[in-house]
């Protein structure tokens, strides 16, 4: 076995993948890091200041991910590209044997999770491998909102094997990174202070115009395309636009509440506004789904107006509280 072999546990007092969230998933990057940090008994909520930088870029909201610099500052975690000049299995074994984790882009088709997707649809996904048992063709990994194992044919699929042949062609190298806990992680007051410093830095990088205003202007063209392309396209659109928006603000709301629970004095209205954003994005998603299925367009103007107004109580309010100039 390559890896420490410890049992992986879920969450903690402030677990992000627990309770009754509005959005059960954020995206493949955030969900993975939340579980990996929990698995290392670290507090992932401290890494959520980046959520204030969400912007709209014409066809979608920017994809949320924890910046590498934030991971290093808060948790001493360093990411590097993993060169796969030989057998992928051998490279993963070398890294997990050193206590490292390998982030690997895979086809979701043969991963046992999420439920309902197994061998039903092809989609790009990312897993974090920390345990490898090559003699048993078994692997343990974090994926989405949990810890999973794969063996047999699924193991072979992860490592792109065919008939037991682990050789590689020059055109089939996967995208992979190695994650190392190089420095000591911060904890307690030091973690809180560093997280707030990151928040101030990210607030300085926030959108200078309300991103919902831009989304609202672009939405009529989005709706026209949705109605023309039908239901298959809707799921991809919803994940890239509405889930990115709603899940981002739900994470921001949890971060604000974590700050309050750790002694920071913040207006209650900020967290409330974040959760309103999350809920309204979900309402809009349901309405659009119904519109696409019924072939009856719904401009969702009341949802968009609510989102645009509520945004002012989130990022701009935090910027004002922490001393950033509100524009």
Domain ranges of the chain: 28-41+77-181, 208-321
Sign of CA dihedral 276, 282, 287, 292: positive
Pairing status of strand 77-81 against strand 176-181: antiparallel
State how far the Cα of 325 lies from the Cα of 304, in Å rounded to an integer. 26
Higher-confidence residue of 13 and 191: namely 191
State how far the Cα of 92 lies from the Cα of 99, in Å rounded to an integer. 11
User: What's residue 259's pLDDT?
Assistant: 98
State how far the Cα of 182 lies from the Cα of 44, in Å rounded to an integer. 17
Tell me 60's DSSP state.
S
pTM greater than 0.75: yes
pLDDT at position 300 over 50: yes
Higher-confidence residue of 26 and 254: namely 254
Instruction: Provide mean pLDDT across the span 283-302.
Output: 96
Phi/psi of residue 105, nearest 5 degrees: -80, 125
| Range in 1-10, 131-140, 161-170, 276-285 the model is least confident about | 161-170
What is residue 63's three-state secondary structure?
Answer: coil
pLDDT at position 4 over 70: no
Structure tokens of 207? 């959108």
Residues 6+ apart with CB under 8 A from 280: 246, 303, 306, 307, 310
User: What's residue 1's pLDDT?
Assistant: 52
User: What's residue 170's pLDDT?
Assistant: 36
Higher-confidence residue of 122 and 285: namely 285
Neighbours of 253 (CB within 10 A): 23
Q: Taking Cα atoms as reference points, which of 8, 253, 51 lies closest to residue 143?
A: 8
User: What's residue 232's pLDDT?
Assistant: 84
Token pair 């309770």: residue: 19
| Range in 98-112, 243-257, 266-280, 303-317 the model is least confident about | 98-112
Q: Taking Cα atoms as reference points, which of 128, 92, 111 lies closest to residue 2?
A: 92
């Amino acid at each position: 076995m390559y890896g420490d072999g410890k049992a992986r546990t879920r969450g903690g007092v402030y677990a992000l993948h627990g309770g009754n969230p509005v959005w059960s998933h954020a995206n493949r990057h955030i969900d993975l890091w939340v579980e990996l940090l929990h698995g290392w008994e670290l507090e992932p909520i401290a890494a959520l200041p980046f959520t204030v930088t969400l912007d709209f870029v014409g066809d979608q909201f920017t994809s949320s991910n924890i910046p590498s610099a934030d991971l290093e500052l808060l948790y001493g975690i360093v990411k590097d590209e993993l060169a796969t000049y030989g057998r992928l299995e051998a490279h993963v074994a070398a890294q997990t044997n050193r206590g490292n984790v390998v982030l690997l882009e895979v086809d979701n088709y043969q991963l046992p999770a999420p439920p309902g997707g197994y061998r039903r649809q092809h989609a790009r996904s990312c897993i974090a491998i920390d345990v490898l048992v090559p003699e048993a063709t078994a692997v343990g990994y974090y994926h989405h909102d949990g810890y999973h194992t794969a063996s047999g044919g699924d193991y072979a699929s992860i490592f792109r094997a065919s008939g037991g042949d682990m050789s590689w062609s020059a055109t089939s190298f996967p995208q992979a990174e190695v994650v190392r806990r190089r420095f000591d992680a911060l904890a307690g007051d030091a973690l809180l202070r560093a997280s707030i410093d990151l928040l101030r830095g990210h607030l300085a990088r926030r959108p200078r115009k309300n991103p919902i205003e831009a989304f609202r202007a672009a939405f009529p063209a989005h709706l026209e395309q949705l109605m023309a392309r039908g239901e298959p396209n809707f799921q991809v659109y919803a994940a890239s636009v509405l889930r990115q928006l709603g899940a981002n603000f739900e994470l921001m709301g949890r971060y604000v509440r974590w700050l309050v629970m750790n002694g920071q004095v913040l207006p209650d209205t900020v967290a409330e506004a974040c959760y309103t954003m999350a809920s309204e994005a979900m309402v809009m998603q349901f309405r659009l789904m119904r519109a696409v299925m019924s072939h009856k367009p719904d401009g969702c103007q009341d949802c968009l107006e609510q989102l645009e107004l509520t945004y002012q109580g989130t990022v701009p309010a935090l910027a004002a509280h922490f001393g950033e100039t509100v524009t």
